[in-house]
Amino acid sequence: MKYKKIRSLIAEGNISEAIETLITEVEGSKISEKNEVILQSSRLNNTLKEKRKGLVSGEESNLIINQVTNGILTLYLTE
């Protein structure tokens, strides 16, 4: 996997791009791994949409984005 690239993207704040790269990387993996990445991606995208619409506060969206980021780092980038 492209761990360094994904970590760099996360460090730069490019969470969406990091998730897209991770989705590509887990394409040949177990279904459960693909599903987890897709779920994290969905959670991030929904939060960003809700933030743009003013349905969630900046604090709440930042919390969810941090949770998604932590989930990605914990599940896939611990090597």
Domain residue ranges in the chain? 3-76
* Sequence letter at residue 67: Q
CB 43 within 8 A of CB 36: no
How many CB atoms within 10 Å of residue 54? 7
Distance CA 6, CA 76 (A): 10
Give the pLDDT confidence of 19-39 residue by residue, as tens digits.
999 888 888 777 778 888 999
Model's pTM, two decimal places?
Answer: 0.82
Spell 68-79 as b/e; 16+ CB within 10 A means b. Answer: bbebbeeebeee
Tell the burial category of 50 from Cβ atoms under 10 Å away from its Cβ (0-12, 13-18, 19+).
Answer: middle
Low-confidence ranges of the chain (pLDDT < 50): none
pLDDT, residue 33, reads 81
